[in-house]
């Protein structure tokens, strides 16, 4: 998690500047209830809460420097609304209880909450709370069918490495089809790992069969020759060029001499309308993930030559969705 900068937070700075403009530039020259009543109320939470939290931090009343979360924002919004609009009119003659001010405070709190929730996370942590429903809404069961296409071929595996486990939609199916296996689940996003562990408890899976590792490839060094099966579902498309080569080499080193590698991912059909459609979908996806998560890859790079160079042979491929998706089974060593 990123450290909250209090008064130097961009939203706080922007809200303070907007407050000054409303108060000393707009109000003297323009009339209207919004500018003279509610405009600055909308800015109150974004401008004042970071300063209040900084004071609390200095007094030891706040024990961390994380971004404000929804409960913290909500408590301060409620306290200020009651104090300013409910209590103050009974104490100060100039105070007027206007509950439309509460609506203005709430709008500012909503904007601040969305901003700080987004700004306080990096990479795929930003998507972790939403990835599950986004996939269901945008793709339905299509990605899950692609993920699980070759799981029956891993039934005899004992040690399975799942890289880019994400929110772990495949874990339940994989644990059922590989009853004797232990699973090592790796992801660079702490938020995604938390979602995966929550799914384990929610689905009633045996946690002793699972090891979760917070690490990023290609920097992470798995034990050499440890795993007789590797699963990378919608993961390799996050890399391109030399980085993809390093990732494939690192994972191939972790594979046993006789191993299977299941890959599900996006692909580009060779020709026709299906190719144009895939190119359009890929462009949208890469722009979205670059903006939201900071993904470095800008286009899809096929890993097939890299896998072949590491001694793996393509033993099965299923495509779906007009060639947009593919599920591969790669093998190394005698079978």
Tens digit of pLDDT for each residue in 265-322?
A: 999 999 999 999 999 999 999 999 998 899 999 999 999 999 999 999 999 999 999 9
Pick the closest to residue 89 from 74, 103, 78, 99 (CA basis). 99
Q: Considering the domain 131-332 in this protein, what is its CATH number?
A: 3.40.50.150
- What is the token pair recorded at 148? 């699980």
Q: What sign results for the dihedral spanned by CA atoms 62, 66, 71, 77? A: positive
User: pLDDT band at 335, cuts 50/70/90?
Assistant: low
Integer Cα distance of 229 and 158 in angstroms: 8
Q: Is the pLDDT of residue 71 over 80?
A: yes
Q: Is the pLDDT of residue 263 over 80?
A: yes
Phi and psi at 29, nearest 5°, equal -120, -15
Pick the closest to residue 180 from 229, 231, 251, 233 (CA basis). 229
3-state SS record for 139-194: HCCHHHHHHCCCHHHHCCCCEEEEECCCCCCCHHHHHHHCCCCEEEEEECCHHHHH
Q: Is the pLDDT of residue 223 over 80?
A: yes
Pick the closest to residue 298 from 288, 312, 313 (CA basis). 288
Integer Cα distance of 335 and 329 in angstroms: 13
User: pLDDT band at 117, cuts 50/70/90?
Assistant: confident
Pick the closest to residue 163 from 143, 138, 189, 181 (CA basis). 189
Rounded mean pLDDT, 9-26: 93
Domain boundaries, the chain: 6-120, 131-332
Rounded mean pLDDT, 207-216: 96
The number of residues in the chain equals: 335
Q: What 8-state DSSP symbol labels residue 268?
A: -
Average per-residue pLDDT for the chain = 92
User: pLDDT band at 1, cuts 50/70/90?
Assistant: low
Question: Which pLDDT score, from 0 to 100, does residue 23 have?
Answer: 86
């Amino acid at each position: 998690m990123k450290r909250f900068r209090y008064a130097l937070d961009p939203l706080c700075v922007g809200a303070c500047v907007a407050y000054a403009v409303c108060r000393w530039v707009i109000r003297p020259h323009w009339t209207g209830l919004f500018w003279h009543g509610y405009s600055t109320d909308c800015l109150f939470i974004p401008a004042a809460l970071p300063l209040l939290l900084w004071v609390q931090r200095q007094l030891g009343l706040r024990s961390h420097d994380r971004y404000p979360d929804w409960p913290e924002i909500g408590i301060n919004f409620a306290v200020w609304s009651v104090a300013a609009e409910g209590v103050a009119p009974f104490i100060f003659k100039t105070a007027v209880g206007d509950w439309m001010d509460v609506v203005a405070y709430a709008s500012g709190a909503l904007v601040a909450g969305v901003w700080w929730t987004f700004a306080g996370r990096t990479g795929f942590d930003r998507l972790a709370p939403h990835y599950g429903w986004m996939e269901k809404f945008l793709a339905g069961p299509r990605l899950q069918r692609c993920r699980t296409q070759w799981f029956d071929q891993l039934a005899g595996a004992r040690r399975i490495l799942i890289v880019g486990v994400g929110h772990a939609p495949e874990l339940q199916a994989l644990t059922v089809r590989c009853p004797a296996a232990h699973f090592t689940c790796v992801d660079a996003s702490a938020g995604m790992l938390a979602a995966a562990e929550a799914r384990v408890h929610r689905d009633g899976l045996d946690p002793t069969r699972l090891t979760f590792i917070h690490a990023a490839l290609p920097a992470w060094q798995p034990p050499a020759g440890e795993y007789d099966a590797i699963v990378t579902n919608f993961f390799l498309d996050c890399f391109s060029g030399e980085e993809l080569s390093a990732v494939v080499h690192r994972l191939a080193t972790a594979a046993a001499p006789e191993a299977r590698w299941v890959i599900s991912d996006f692909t580009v059909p060779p020709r026709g309308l299906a190719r144009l459609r895939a190119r359009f979908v890929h462009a949208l996806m890469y722009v979205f993930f670059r903006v939201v998560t900071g993904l470095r890859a800008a286009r899809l790079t096929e890993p097939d030559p890299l896998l072949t160079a590491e001694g793996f042979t393509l033993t099965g491929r299923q495509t779906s969705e007009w060639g947009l998706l593919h599920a591969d089974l790669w093998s190394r060593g005698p079978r």
